[in-house]
Amino acid sequence: MSAIVEKLNDETFVLNLGPQHPATHGVLRVKLRMDGEYIVEAEPVLGYIHRMHEKMGENRTWIQYLPNTARLDYLHALAFNHVYVNAVERAAGIEVPQRAEYIRVITAELNRISSHLVWFGAFIMDLGGFSPLLYAFDDREQILDLLEAITGSRLTYCYFRFGGVSCDIDDQFITGSRAFVKRMRERLDMYRNLVTNNIITIKRLEDVGPITAEMCRKYGATGPVARGSGINFDVRRHEPYSVYPEFDFDIPVYHECDNMARYMVRMDEMEQSLRIIEQALDKLPDGPYLLPKAPRIVKPAKGDFYQAVESARGSLGLRIVSDGSNNAYRLKWRSPTFSNLSLFGEACIGMLLPDALALMGTLDLVIPEIDR
C-alpha cells in the first residue's frame, strides 16, 4: 500500500489513452504513466471486444466455423480463411485442386494489398496528414470491387472452402486484376513521391521508435514489425504453404529498426504482392476450382495440427485439436498483432507521446484480431 502511494507521489500522472481515442483505431486502451509528455510506463489493456471466437470454434461444426474466421481480422480476412481451411484440409487429408490454390493466392494477395493500403492511410492520418487516406481508399475500392464480384462480400470474406474455393474466377476478374496491378504500380510511385519523400514524414519516422531484433524475439513479434528490425522471416518463404514456392518474390527486410523501416517494409510488400498476383495470373491452370468429391461433412482425423500463414500483420497460426468428431475439441489462434502489441509497453518507455503513437501506428493494430 505504502509502496504504491510513494511511487505515485512523484511528478508523474496516469493518462488513460482509450478505449475511445482517435489514435488507437478501435477499442484498445493503454494506461500510460507520464512525466510531462514523456512516457514512463505503458500498459495495454485488452478485452473490450472479446467475442469468444475460440469457444465458438469448439461448439460449431468445422464448416459452420468458417464465417467466424473472417470476423477476426477485418482487414485481411482471407488469411484467416486460408489458415483455417489449410489446417482442416491437412487434418482431414483433403486434396486441393491446383487452380483453387492459385485462386487462393491471388485473392489473399489482393486482400493483403488492401490491408496495407488501409494501414498506410490510417498511419499517415496518425501523423496528421489526412489526404493520403482518401487516396488509399480509392485504390482499396478497386480491390473490394474485384473481390466482391467473386466472393460476394466486401470485407468479411468467406470464400475458401475445404477442397477449394466457393466460386470460380472469370475473365472479368482476371482483366480487372491485371488493370489493377498496372494502376497500383503508378499509385505506389505517387505515394513514394508525395508521402514517403515528404520532409516532415521523414523527420517523424527516421530514427524514431526503435524496436530491436532482440525485442522482437522476446515478444514473438513477426511480420513487417520483425522484418523492419532485420529479421528475415516470412511464413510464405520459410514455412511454405499453398503454391507460394512456385512464385518469384522478395522478402523486404530493413535493418534500421525504426518507424521508417517498418513503413518501408509494408510499402515494398505491396510491390511484391503485385508481382505474385501477376505471376499467378500468368500461370493460372485450368481445372476444377473445388474438389468435385469434397466431403459435405468434414471429420478430420484424431490429432493435433498447427498451420501458419503470413497475414498482413505477421505470422498467423492456428492450432486445432480434433477428437475425430464433427467439431473441434480445441481451437487456438495465434494472432500476430497480439504479440506485436505486447512489445509496445517496453518499446515506448522514455518516448514522447506523439512518437509513441507513431510507433503504435507502425505496429498496424487490428483490435478484433487481438481480442478474438
Partner 1 sequence: METILHYINLVLYVEPLRLLLYLAGLIMFVAANAAYLVLLERKVAGHIQLRIGPKENGPFGLLQPLADGIKLMTKQLLTPSGIDPILFRIAPVMVMVPAIMSFVVIPFSDSIVARNMDIGLLVVLAFATINFLGLLLGAWGSRNKYAIMSAARVVSQNIAYEIPMLVTIVAIIMVSGSLNMHTIVSQQLGGFWQWNLLNIKASLLMPAAFLIMFICMLAETNRAPFDLVEAESELVAGPFIEYSSMGFGLFFMAEYSNIVIGACLATILFLGGWGCPFGILPGVHWFLIKIYLLIFMVVWIRWTFPRTTFYGLLNLSWKVLIPVSFVNLILTSAMLKVF
Q: List residues near partner 1 by CB under 8 A.
A: 13, 15, 21-23, 36-37, 124-131, 133-135, 138, 198, 200-201, 203-204, 352-355, 357
Query: For the range 349-353, what are the long-range contacts, defined as Cβ-Cβ under 8 Å and sequence gap of 24 or more?
Result: 349/39, 349/40, 349/41, 349/42, 350/38, 350/39, 350/40, 351/38, 351/39, 351/209, 352/37, 352/38, 352/39, 353/32, 353/34, 353/37, 353/39
CB of 370 to partner 1, least distance (A): 19
Strand partners, 307: 318
Q: Considering the complex, state which of residue 198 and residue 242 has its C-beta at the smaller distance from partner 1.
A: 198
Distance (Å, whole) CA 255 – CA 241? 26
Spatial strand order of the sheet with 29-35 comes to 13-17, 29-35, 38-45
Dihedral pair phi/psi, residue 270, rounded to 5°: -60, -40
Q: Considering the complex, state which of residue 21 and residue 299 has its C-beta at the smaller distance from partner 1.
A: 21
CA distance readout (Å), 225 to 42, 253, 255:
19, 10, 11
CB of 293 to partner 1, least distance (A): 48
Q: Considering the complex, state which of residue 164 and residue 361 has its C-beta at the smaller distance from partner 1.
A: 361
Q: Considering the complex, state which of residue 131 and residue 212 has its C-beta at the smaller distance from partner 1.
A: 131
Do 273 and 188 form a contact (C-beta atoms < 8 A)?
no
CB of 129 to partner 1, least distance (A): 3
CB of 131 to partner 1, least distance (A): 5
CB of 31 to partner 1, least distance (A): 12
Q: Considering the complex, state which of residue 42 and residue 83 has its C-beta at the smaller distance from partner 1.
A: 42
Hey, what amino acid is at 292?
Answer: P
In the numeric block, which cell numbers belong to residue 220?
A: 514473438
CA distance readout (Å), 250 to 243, 309, 336:
15, 17, 21
**DSSP tag of 62:** T
CB of 352 to partner 1, least distance (A): 7
Distance (Å, whole) CA 226 – CA 233? 8
CB of 132 to partner 1, least distance (A): 9
Find the helix or strand (DSSP H, E) in which 307 lies. strand 303-311
Q: Considering the complex, state which of residue 22 and residue 245 has its C-beta at the smaller distance from partner 1.
A: 22
Q: Considering the complex, state which of residue 124 and residue 211 has its C-beta at the smaller distance from partner 1.
A: 124
Q: Considering the complex, state which of residue 83 and residue 124 has its C-beta at the smaller distance from partner 1.
A: 124
Interior/surface letters 18-37, b for 16+ CB within 10 angstroms, e for the rest: bbeeebbbbbbbbebbbeee
CB of 280 to partner 1, least distance (A): 30
